[in-house]
Amino acid sequence: MRAVLTGVPGTGKTTVLRRATEKGGDKKYEIVNYGDVMFKEAKSRGLADDRDDMRKLNSGVQKDIQKNAAEKIGAMEDVIVDTHCTVLTPKGYLPGLPQWVLKALNPDLIVLVEAKPEEIAWRRRNDSTRIRKADPEEVKSHQEMNRAAAISYAVLTGATVKIIMNANNKLDEAASELRGVLF
């Protein structure tokens, strides 16, 4: 199976994924962080010093980096791709999974990890490792954009879309729900 796990920054998608795959199941997945693959490419080109710099790149450059990453990941089997459905850039929302990425990845399942916008804003304010805006209204808009994008991606690929809530102090419940669709 090929799954794409998405969520706005601060939803805890990577944390949910780690917890869900700790116990695992019969199936073994290769877990790939799309942003890490893109950042490695951008850094090798001298275009970014940290992952947050990538949002500021020219959209044409971002698209080229996306395409290269998709081709690398698309060659993998039984993969869970940890990524963003959309990326908020200074010029607006950039699809995280444009047509050429979807074609390369060909997912069976798209999972959106969400939380209440206020919870995400709180998590962002308390994360000293990243630079992120912490406005609940902006988070809400971004999550709405992700839902619209996810169903569009599903129309193009035939993938199913699953929404998992990762509320504060409910990590085990979110991880259990993710395990249920993966294993």
pLDDT one-digit tens code per residue, 65-95: 989 999 999 999 999 999 999 988 888 998 9
Residue 97 has pLDDT above 90, yes or no: yes
pLDDT digits (tens, 9 = 90+) for 156-179: 999 999 999 999 999 999 999 999
DSSP 163: E
Confidence of residue 129 (pLDDT cuts 50, 70, 90): confident
Q: Is the dihedral of CA 48, 51, 52, 56 positive or negative?
A: positive
- What is the model's pTM? 0.88
Confidence of residue 24 (pLDDT cuts 50, 70, 90): low
Other beta carbons less than 10 A from residue 55's beta carbon: 16
Most confident of 56-65, 122-131, 147-156: 147-156
CATH number of the domain that 170 lies in? 3.40.50.300
Confidence of residue 19 (pLDDT cuts 50, 70, 90): very high
CB-based burial of residue 119 (10 Å sphere; 0-12 exposed, 13-18 middle, 19+ buried)? buried
Please tell me the total count of domains within the chain.
Answer: 1
What average pLDDT does this structure show over 107-136?
92
Q: What does the pLDDT read at residue 90?
A: 84
- CA 46 – CA 42 distance, rounded (Å): 6
Average pLDDT, the chain: 93
Q: What does the pLDDT read at residue 163?
A: 98
Q: What percent of the chain has pLDDT over 70?
A: 99
Confidence of residue 53 (pLDDT cuts 50, 70, 90): confident
- CA 24 – CA 65 distance, rounded (Å): 31
- CA 5 – CA 80 distance, rounded (Å): 7
Element at 143 (helix H, strand E): helix 136-157
Domain containing residue 111: 2-182
Other beta carbons less than 10 A from residue 62's beta carbon: 19
